[in-house]
Structure 1
Amino acid sequence: MSVIIGIKAKGAVYDTQSAEELGLEGEPIYFDNSEDSLAIMRHTCAHLMAEAIKSLYPEAQFFVGPVVEEGFYYDFRIAKKIGEEDLAAIESKMKEIAKKGEKVVKYHLKREEAIVKFQNDDLKQAVISRIPLGDGTLSIYSQGDFEDLCRGPHLPTLKLLNAFKLTKIAGAYLGGDEKAEMLTRIYGIAFADKESLNTYLRQLEEAKKRDHRKVGMEMELFTFDEEIGAGLPIWLPKGARLRRNLENLLTQALIERGYEPVRGPEILKSAVWKTSGHYANYGENMYFTTIDEVEYGIKPMNCVGHIKVYQSALRSYRELPLRFYEYGVVHRHEKSGVLHGLLRVREFTQDDAHIFCRPSQIASEVKNIIDFTQKIMNAFDFTYEMEISTRPEKSIGSDAVWEEATEALKSALNECGIAYKIDEGGGAFYGPKIDIKITDAIGRKWQCGTVQIDMNLPERFDLAYTDENNTAQQPVMIHRAILGSFERFVAILTEHFGGEFPFFVAPTQVIIIPINEAQNAYARELRNMLLKVGVYAEIEDKNETLNKRIRNAEKQRVPMIAVLGAKEMEERKVAVRNRRTKEQSEISFDDFIQLNKEKMREVSF
């Protein structure tokens, strides 16, 4: 049996030292690749890395070293500039230290004692200042010659660590404050065994090949320009076509499901953001400006605009549910350090919708959204899971309203037979939500869509409808985005398929290659007919060899290549190369058009 490295009690994870000092009993955590075990070993591995850095660079000072989704990191200050080439030496020192099997020891100091102990270390003073004053006693974990302020949990000994890897080095602002000092940050990963580590590293290499920033540049989908600003993507023609294909599929599905298109302004007076609660609870993520001495906020969400659509007329129970959708452009203030290609930007477009319904209609509406979601996920061969996020600390509304809304989401998922996890405190400030997390082709999980039940904004804006008894009632508002945003979804889609997009959304579906100038007119006829049936085609007629033009077409990851020679033109045929199946065939002009029409209809949401 594996070594016990901690226990789980009352939903929290404790290492063996903490459990013993607190007299806790609970579910044992073994040294394996379970989520709780990985958290303990990766936290310890962060401290192992810090000890190695301190050994190699004695002047190094350390800030924080948490566990994160991609493993762990440590932020530290160092006089010497270090880079990727230095990671191997740090990693080698880590292995050397781990083999010694140093024990990890926990002890406590009073806050005042800790301040004195670290009086010559301003980074440690910064850490202490961030610890709530109620914590009069601070814990310290020590191993060999290294120790640090830390709440844990940690392994009992470093000897257990034998499958780890340092993955990258970056800069990080102290405490995430862009105005503060830039520290050095090193990321790493750890597993219970080398086989799992090697599997992860192979996945990491595959991820680098599929990186949407690299593939997007190669395919000319999008770009960024420092003259315009960080986090503000520019969509190039091919990327815009990809988005348009997604929008067209979504629009048809939305219309069939009874959604109505609406559009709200992108800038609204701050007074409405104060009414909604965004000003107090989300203001740090918004951009504001002043017009005619009145403050306005650029919208970070589309919900207030849709509320105003609802308020534009008196509403009856006979109209409900009302479903409004908008491909709404929103802006959010993201720190420069977290911007990441299309995955994290400052301007993006949500596939947003808001449903206004009666409480009795919540379950059926959520079930319809889940059905819609499943069709979209299946169309792209995504596996996915769902998670209910509950009330966060910073929120609005009564406990009773939150409880009712949370139970409505649980009930809907239970009725659909969908297993789900609970993310305590992860809800929006105005209501609980279902988060849709998809798993891509190489096993990574991504947060995309969301379904949120909101009984607070209808109350704040005094929304009403007239019921069967001619009495005013308050509707429920359901916030819903399935892709999340077109930017994020395109990034995920690009990495999932490595740029090999399915035919029905590919930015260029067919490249036509006339063998020589004599077939140019025939190529234009074929392209024009494809465009008429909604298939985007390009003609590759550069003054280059046929083989080179075919290679260029393949590099563009286009699904289908049509080669036209004298024989094809004379017989009104098309020589077809299916890039994905690697199959070649020859079919008639009309059959080729019909084939493309059918491929465009292969998927519907």
Structure 2
Amino acid sequence: MPNETNTIKLNIRFKENNHLLEVKKNILIFEVINEHFKKENILAAKVNNCEADLHSTLNNEDFLELFTFESKYGKHVFWHSSAHVLGNALVNLYNCKLVNGPPIDEGFYYDIETDKTLGNEDFKKIEKEMIKIINKNSKFVKKTLKIDDLKEMYKENSCKLHFLNQIQKECLNNKLKDENFDDKISVYYNDEFFDMCRGPHVLSTKIIKSVKITKSSSCYFLNDSKNKSLQRIYGVSFPSKEEMKEYEERIKRSKEMDHRKIGRELDLYFFNDYSPGSCFWLPDGTIIYNRLMEFLKKEYIKRGFNEVITPNMFHINLWKESGHYENYKENIYAIEGEDFALKPMNCPGHCVMFRNTERSYKELPLRFADFGVLHRNECSGSLTGLTRVRRFQQDDAHIFCSMSQIKSEISGALNFLKSVYSKFDFKYTLFLSTRPEKFLGQLEEWNVAEERLREAILESNHTYVLNEGDGAFYGPKIDIVLYDAFNRKTQCATIQLDFQLPQRFKLRFKNELGEFETPVMIHRAILGSVERFIAILIESYGKNLPFWLHPRQIGICLVATTETVTNYVDKLCLDINQAFESSCNDVKIRIYDDCKDTFNKKVRKAATDGNKIVLIVGEKEAENNEVNVKKNDRSFNISKDILIKKIKTAIETKEEVKFD
């Protein structure tokens, strides 16, 4: 047993388990891992909730958290280290100037300055060089250098000098406050390669077992088109070859499910250079679009929303009054030579609508819902199918309420969200973003609002992740991150409190005492952009969309085109759709009766056309008032009335037609 004075105690957390260890003094993090967690594939750590290099020395009573690649933070560190290996390879191969190389949600990239245009033909070469570097098993070694020394090292790299000058200004300000402030910057070395970096990193390059360069693109330094044009090289890496194989299979499946590909194959929509970023919705695509909006409109009636229509074009003064013009003018479509612009969002118009008449507390909460067409001047390089467009519609709503009504309105919004997303089996996570350093309004007002949001989340049986200080300056918010079929994260829904716009527009209502009070505004969307939501739906379901949404619901194949059969099929189609007259729904039916086609060809065609249900009707079915249902490798007869009942149930419940 070591002498007590030569030991320290550590509180260690690993995979939700807590450990209390007594270890030698001045022990390094990686030594703790080697001695006590050697078989656990740990590659990153935090000490007392702060990021830590694995060569860091531990002190008595430190709280040490350990992470594997399975964790979000573990991936972050692993891909950050992989970015350094990519930078090393690019310097070796092309003698380029490195700019910035961060980890991203799935992988990493490096921005570089070079005269050579890198494309697909370079990818294998870069991968080979990265593997060569990895196999050297070089350690990631942290050093701290003075800014002036680094400026000398990077004297030929104007982008790095820009970063260094910014850091130097911050250091000078800090030094004025504290003369003992250390103005050195951390640099990480792998053998002779180095790059300035905060870290942390994995222990050595050998931990990276598999790498792949995924794509390249052009970008501007600091994302400003006035600055230098750079090249961005993307990559992904894993701590095992098996994980890379799984990734490649997932990417292959996601390409097969790409909404742009399926949209073409099903004739749902297309894009044309005559109107970049604006979708042309074909008849079948329009059915999906309208059905989604009809679904929400029915929900609005149940949930006390008032649907409104606001102008598409407003005088520029509206955007100045709302504050959007100052921060958002690059994305606003102004009409040349005029003082008008197409609206990029609905909230200012709804404020004008609220202000149009004197309001009483008896009218609150007042819920405006708007499917108005929005236009945002996105740069052409960012336009991507339905996920990034210039013309779109949102299921946009704004709720005007008193402070005391916040909790119930947020609860209602969360229940609405759960109800809609459950129809598609979508999983999601809530992030509660609280007061930032700079904020508008009273501290007490913020504290009350944040507490009401917390209570609403918990009382609606949701859990949440706290994003402290990440709220907008005008109010706390709930960010909703949706996970698609490939576990990719997308933000569609919005629930955002706003103290600012009601003040900017001088909105007010008379409270119970007859005094004027400023309402709170809640921005709320469930689908978000309808276009983007449809892209997610298609990439999750492929051609097998839910029955109630599907533009090809039923295909009827005629065994023969006799008068008896055709008359019966006409009556069948009429009866099916008459069952939905009161609900304004109609069932999309395709008839396969081409005399030139054999019966088997009709059935094959109905299946390959993507019809959710394939029915077969011949003399026997017409005689018995039945249909033959072809499902997978079997077929069976049911009565026409039972079929209609099953279809009606499926559409009303938003579920599949159940025959079993």
Secondary structure of 1:337 counterpart = helix
Inter-CA distance 93–36: structure 2 relative to 1 (3 Å threshold): same
Cα offset, 1:481, TM superposition: 0.5
Equivalent-residue separation in structure 1 for 2:599 and 2:158 (angstroms): 66
Work out whether residues 45 and 190 of structure 1, in 8 Å CA contact, stay in contact via their aligned partners in 2: yes
Counterparts of residues 373-452 of structure 1 (less than 5 Å): 373-391=417-435, 396-452=440-496
Secondary structure of 1:238 counterpart: helix
Q: What pairs up with 1:194-593 in 2 under 5 angstroms?
A: 194-229=241-276, 231-289=277-335, 292=338, 295-391=339-435, 396-518=440-562, 519-532=565-578, 533=580, 534-542=586-594, 543-578=596-631, 583-593=634-644
Bigger Rg over Cα: 2
1:595 positional shift: 2.5
Tell which deviates more after alignment, 315-324 or 422-431.
Answer: 422-431
User: 1:93 is paired with a residue of what secondary structure?
Assistant: helix
Measured in 2, the distance between the counterparts of 1:360 and 1:540 equals 60
Mapped pair 1:87 → 2:133 = no
8 A Cα contact 1:43 1:66, kept in partner: yes
**What letter matches 1:166 in structure 2?**
I
Distance change >3 Å, CA 63–CA 81, structure 1 → 2? same
1:170 touches 1:186 (CA, 8 Å); kept in 2? Answer: yes
Instruction: State how far apart, in whole Å, the 1-side matches of 2:368 and 2:49 are.
Output: 39
What is the aligned counterpart of 1:184 among 226, 231, 235? Answer: 231
Structure 1: unaligned runs, 5 residues or longer: none
1:483 Cα offset (Å): 1.1
d(CA) in 1 for partners of 2:626, 2:541: 31
1:234-284 CA distance string (max 9 Å, x none): 212111100111111111111011111111112222222222222233334
**SS, match of residue 335 in structure 2:** strand
| Residues 56-102 of structure 1 deviation map (CA, whole Å, 9 limit, x = unaligned) | x2333322211111221112244444433432332233222212111
In structure 2, the partner of 1:74 is 110
Which residue of structure 1 lines up, in the alignment, with residue 208 of structure 2? 161
Q: Deviation digits for residues 274-310 of structure 1, max 9, x if unmatched? A: 2222223333433333565xx3343222111112222
Q: CA deviation at 1:399?
A: 4.5
CA displacement 1:479-527 (0-9 Å, x = unmatched): 1111112111111111111231111111221122334543555444433
Instruction: Name the SS of the counterpart of 1:134 in structure 2.
Output: helix
Please say if 1:101 is aligned against 2:154: no
- Residue segments in structure 2 that go unaligned for 5+ positions in a row: 1-36, 172-182, 581-585, 656-660
TM-score norm. by structure 1 comes to 0.90
1:32 to partner: Cα distance: 3.5
Aligned partner of residue 325 in structure 1, secondary structure: strand
C-alpha separation in 1, matches of 2:245 and 2:488: 16
1:541 Cα deviation from its structure 2 partner: 4.0
Are 2:644 and 1:598 aligned? no
Aligned counterparts of 2:165 and 2:551: Cα–Cα separation in 1: 52
Distance 1:485-1:12 versus aligned 2 partners, 3 A rule? farther
Cα distance change on mapping 1:148 and 1:348 into 2, 3 Å: same
Does the 8 A contact of 2:78 with 2:201 survive in 1? yes
**Secondary structure, in 3 states, of the residue corresponding to 1:368?**
helix
Aligned pair 1:13/2:51, yes or no? yes
Shift of 1:106: 2.7
For residue 262 of structure 1, what is the amino acid of its counterpart?
V
Q: Which structure is higher in RCO with an 8 Å CA cutoff and minimum separation 6?
A: 1
Partner of 2:86: 49
For the residues of structure 1 that align with 2:104 and 2:85, how far apart are their CA atoms?
Answer: 16
Quote the residue 2:6 is aligned against.
none
Contact 1:401 1:455 in 2 (8 A): no
**Matched-pair identity in %:** 37
Secondary structure of the 1:598 match is: helix
SS at match of 1:584: strand
Q: 1:219 to 1:587 in 2, by over 3 A?
A: same
Paired residue type of 1:538: R
Give 1:158 shift.
Answer: 1.2
CA distance change for structure 1 residues 470 and 523 in 2, over 3 Å: closer, same or farther? same
Report if the CA contact (8 A) 1:513-1:523 is conserved.
Answer: no
Give the Cα–Cα distance (whole angstroms) in 1 for the partners of residues 520 and 418 of structure 2. 24
Q: 1:415 to 1:334 in 2, by over 3 A?
A: same
CA contact (8 A) 1:323 1:356 kept: yes
Matched residue SS, 1:484: strand
Deviates more, 1:549-558 or 1:314-323: 549-558
Q: Is the 8 A contact 2:42 2:69 kept in 1?
A: no
Would the aligned equivalents of 2:69 and 2:78 in 1 still touch at CA under 8 Å? Answer: no
**TM-score, normalised to structure 2's length?**
0.83
CA distance in 2, matches of 1:24, 1:92: 45
Aligned to 2:16: none
State the Cα distance separating 1:593 from its structure 2 match: 2.7
Q: Closer, same or farther in 2 for the Cα pair 1:521/1:63, shift >3 Å?
A: farther
Which amino acid is the alignment partner of residue 609 of structure 2?
Q
SS in 2 for 1:448: strand
Query: RMSD across aligned C-alpha pairs, in angstroms?
Result: 2.9
Deviation at 1:29, TM superposition (A): 3.4
- SS of 1:412's equivalent in the other structure is helix
The 1:213/1:298 distance shift into structure 2, 3 A limit, reads: same
Q: Quick one: which amino acid aligns to residue 219 of structure 1?
A: L
Counterpart residue identity of residue 237, structure 1: P
Change in CA separation of 1:345 and 1:566 when aligned onto 2, cut-off 3 Å: same
One-letter amino acid of the structure 1 residue matched with residue 75 of structure 2: L
Contact 1:530 1:536 in 2 (8 A): no
